[in-house]
Amino acid sequence: MDYKNIAVEKREGYAVVTLDRPREMNALTKAMRRELDDCFEMLEKDTSVNAVILTGGDAVFSAGMDLVELSQLPEGELDDYISSIIRCLERIYTFRKPVVAAVSGIALGGGFNIAVICDLIVASETAIFGHPELKFGLNPLFDPLRRIVGVSKAKEITMLGEPIAAKEALRIGLVNKVAPPEKFMEEAEIIVRELSKRPAKALEAVKRISDIVPRLDKSTALEHEFEIAGLLFSRAERKECMEKFLGELKSRKKK
């Protein structure tokens, strides 16, 4: 875990991955994407990690693509550059464990993309989201955003490119929680600590279900969910979890 552009800290049951180019406002370079790809591959295999916080720190989440690197990119390397973006986003987007984005300051363009492919977003009151790409003649990433806020709102956000403050992001369902600047990481940690206590296979199943069932008709969606439920029900872990839950319930009643 000797990275130059990100920092990784493992805690009890979860990990915190921090974009670590603060002087460059965490602008995303090819090297940073390579490290994120490697890091999430490693964390997916790590059985001691059940959830991940992805953050940029207290000041800024990410200003997006590194425009200096992009402006100096030789034309012959464009395909490889785009492939590196796809690989990094896909690695985080298809990560089997819950990922919570903890966003403070700006999350623009490519930084916004990284936030919306996470499962949940906790935003500081200072957070500002936006897709300014169209102003520069580039297309923003549409589909992950559309899945969260709907087609009409996603069109508005990507076509107009206007900044979205934290409270507005909460109102439209873009983020899950807004907290004061000094508490946004604490709120994200409360969530991942709770997630880390959940059975790993059940969490993975919920992630798969949330991705698949919106594409199915109602009957097929129900069948799929109960197929997954049947598989989970047959696991020995299920009995242990139920016994633990009932034991906690009894102890609460005695109080």
N residues, the chain: 255
Say how many C-beta atoms besides its own lie within 10 A of residue 56's C-beta: 27
Cβ contact 145:158 at 8 Å: yes
Helix (H, G, I), strand (E, B) or coil at 79: helix
133 is catalytic: yes
Torsion, Cα of 43, 45, 50, 52 (10° steps): 20
Q: What strand order describes the sheet that includes 177-179?
A: 6-11, 13-19, 49-55, 99-103, 120-124, 177-179
Helix (H, G, I), strand (E, B) or coil at 189: helix
132: Cβ–Cβ under 8 A, 6 or more apart, which residues? Answer: 64, 108, 109, 161
Give dist(CA 37, CA 29) in Å, integer.
Answer: 12
CA dihedral for 181, 171, 222, 212, sign (positive or negative): negative
Q: Which of 35, 75, 133, 162 is catalytic?
A: 133
Active-site residues: which are they? 133
